[in-house]
Amino acid sequence: MAINIFRIAALVALAGAAACGSSSEKSPWGALGGASGQGGTYGFDGGPLGLGGFTGMGGQTGIDGSTWTPAATCVERASALVEALTPAQRYGQMTTVDSYGLTVSEATSALLGSVFSGGSSDPAGGNTIADWTSLVSSYLDVAKGFAPHVGLLYGHDAVHGSNNVQDAVIFPHAIGIGASFDPALAEEVGRITALEMLGAGINWAFAPTVAAARDERWGRTYESFGEIPEVAGQMGAAMVRGLQNGRLGNGQSVLACAKHYAGDGATDGGKNAGDVTSLDEAAFRQVAIEPYRPAIEAGVGSIMVSYSSYQGTKMTAAKYWLTDVLKGELGFAGFLVSDWDALSQLPGAWPEQVETAINAGLDMVMLSHTWNAHSAADFASTLGALVDAGEVPVERVQDAVRRILTIKCEMGLLDGDTLIDPALTAAIGSAEHRAVARAAVRRSLVLLKNDGMLPLPKSLSRIHVTGSGADSLAKQCGGWTLGWQGLGTAGPATATTRGTTVLAAVGNALAATGTAVTTSGDGSGAAGADYAIVVVGEPPYAEGQGDSAQPTLSSTDVAAIAKVRSANVPFVVVLFSGRPLLLTDKYGVSVLDVANAFVAAWLPGTEGDGIADVLFGDYKPTGRLGFSWPATAEQIPINDGDGQIPLFPVGFGLTYP
């Protein structure tokens, strides 16, 4: 299959709004006053996308094409350590366990080389910064007692900031960063994320997602930088450079983990952890393998293996793709870690699952501790028995441990005890960091429609801010925010974090003008206002819980937009979503058609002031779509170059005069 990133598909107006048929339901829109379809073709203000630094996007040129290799001294040091370790110590290095329910005693007895906190694995006392530093320190103290000294990796899913930690800055999800087409921005976001992680003692980011999302139905679309593999790969490489501060061990860096290798975003029907059967090997390599090459060349130290399958074989079991292709052809010199309890998805009993995965090339096993029946001790004893029986070659174990220790050496973890820098702790959520996130929000917004209403004036009598997302940090941040499924899904139901909603941001922007700011959650109350801002969008979700056969606006959001329209007030729709949504309701009316302006804000995170910056003209919109926007459900999946005409093509984005 060919992907032509230089082709910007022609835009066409949709046919007139479909009739309501024989339904007795009354449309909430009333008379449309002759409006039809999209109301005309929208112009594209820029040129074609270029990969040489994303021409015209203000980005950097990216990688030089050379493959990163670890320092020879670290390889030698790791090799010597492998020989010095007992079998039990080796197996401990090959294991990472979720902190939820894990005790310090268990970590000590299992000789763990790594601990991680899953999406909702908060410290027992809460998820404040102090709670996190206390939790991580307890496991760092365990590692201090191991001889020889082997350091400790502590990981979490830092997919848009250090997002498990309360009051850390939450950046736009990757779908928004990708809309900037600016690798320099992605790198800076990664750099600040690393600093905030280190402030809590966390040194391993399960990020970035370099997979190209090729199906809007996939619940993890927002974790992808875009549908074009080359763009996803280069933006991912930039994030790697930011997290690892250019190179591991280069001061204030964390270990990046490109994910999920391979097949994510291209599964049949967009199913999370599904199977890829529609692509032959050549196409699979182009779509699913090539995005990892820039990250490898940028020096990514770890890669997480996907739950997904290719042609019926789980990637965790695929020696060809893990060893022959990734470690062989692509020259990946870091280590491979499984996804959460991924071994349990393989055929056979536990010993067969362990044998298959390790022989396939997996270097580290990720265990949930509580939810899976198999513990770190089970893994160690099972792997030991397989090695003793000759089912897993001892050389395979040595290679795995050598890879892990080499990366730890590169990080400086073998040089002495790891201490948490109090200055970095104090800087978590700082004004300086939030300023970077605010700039990222501005750069991520894509203006899809503007009849001249935007930018909004600041000298007004009254502006009305309404909709389900107007005052909702949960919708604004999306999944992987404190809780796995988003704010309020872990710990107390009231758990939240510091941030500025759109309502608060509008108030900030107009504070000195005397303009009255009114609000409602359902679209009511707009009558008599000069303008209205309607903020709508998807509720937070993560992974398979976000899979949707028909991603569209909820009826509640459509009703809110209809109420504002009936008030005869000019209004802009701000859409929070983890993917392009279908914008036509069951009556055939496009919410894009009835709004005066429309902004795709994706999942921008905590800094809502960046949205107000664009709405009021303090920053001209520069974002462009990293995804083709489907016009109808029948078009899904839709991708650039597949012969379909989208509602908006990849690269589309308006700006102000």
Instruction: Kindly indicate whether the domain formed by 72-426 is annotated with CATH number 3.40.47.40.
Output: no
Residue 25 appears among annotated catalytic residues: no
DSSP E strands: which ranges in 380-511?
446-450, 462-466
Residues 6+ apart with CB under 8 A from 145: 108
pLDDT of amino acid 59: 31
CA distances for 537 relative to 206, 588, 602, angstroms: 26, 19, 9
Q: Which residues of 12-22 are buried (b: 16+ CB within 10 A; e: fewer)?
A: eebeebeeeee
- DSSP line for 318-387: -HIIIIIIIIIIS---SEEE--TTGGGGSSSSHHHHHHHHHHHT--BEEE-SSSSS--HHHHHHHHHHHH
Distance CA 254, CA 203 (A): 5
Burial label for 46, CB within 10 Å (0-12, 13-18, 19+), is middle
The residue type found at 657 is P
Residues 6+ apart with CB under 8 A from 431: none
CA nearest to 529, candidates 501, 500, 506, 508: 506
Architecture field, domain 445-635: 3-Layer(aba) Sandwich (3.40)
Per-run averaged pLDDT (10 residues), the chain, 657 residues: 36 26 62 40 34 35 59 97 98 97 94 95 90 96 93 97 97 98 98 98 98 98 98 98 93 96 97 97 98 98 98 98 98 98 97 98 94 90 98 98 98 90 98 98 98 97 98 97 87 75 98 97 98 98 96 97 98 98 94 98 98 98 98 97 97 97
Distance CA 540, CA 558 (A): 18
288 touches 311 (CB < 8 A): no
CA distances for 208 relative to 256, 292, 552, 614, angstroms: 7, 11, 26, 27
CA distances for 10 relative to 38, 39, 358, 599, 633, angstroms: 14, 16, 49, 20, 19
Residue 148: cis peptide before it, omega within 30 degrees of 0: yes
Radius of gyration, alpha carbons of the chain: 25
Distance CA 74, CA 512 (A): 58
Through-space distance between the first and last CA atoms of the chain, rounded to whole angstroms: 38
pLDDT tens column, 532-591: 999 999 999 999 999 999 999 999 999 999 999 999 999 999 999 999 999 999 889 999
CA nearest to 74, candidates 426, 335, 454, 424: 335
Catalytic residue among 122, 230, 410, 543: 543
Catalytic residue among 188, 196, 297, 339: 339
Distance CA 270, CA 546 (A): 10
- Strand 365-367 with 462-466, pairing: unpaired
pLDDT of amino acid 443: 98
Residue 208: cis peptide before it, omega within 30 degrees of 0: yes
Helix 394-411, helix 376-388: angle, nearest 10: 130
Helix (H) / strand (E) containing 434: helix 431-444
pLDDT of amino acid 18: 27
Residues 6+ apart with CB under 8 A from 53: 59, 60, 61, 62, 183
The residue type found at 649 is P
User: Tokens 């303008």 identify what position?
Assistant: 531
For the chain, the residue count is: 657
How many other CB atoms are there within 10 angstroms of residue 347's CB atom? 10
Domain locations along the chain: 72-426, 445-635
Distance CA 194, CA 545 (A): 28
Residue 543 appears among annotated catalytic residues: yes
How many other CB atoms are there within 10 angstroms of residue 222's CB atom? 28
The strand pairing partners of 309, in sequence order, are 275, 314
pLDDT of amino acid 31: 63
Distance CA 614, CA 619 (A): 5
Residue 642 carries which DSSP code?
A: S
250 touches 244 (CB < 8 A): yes
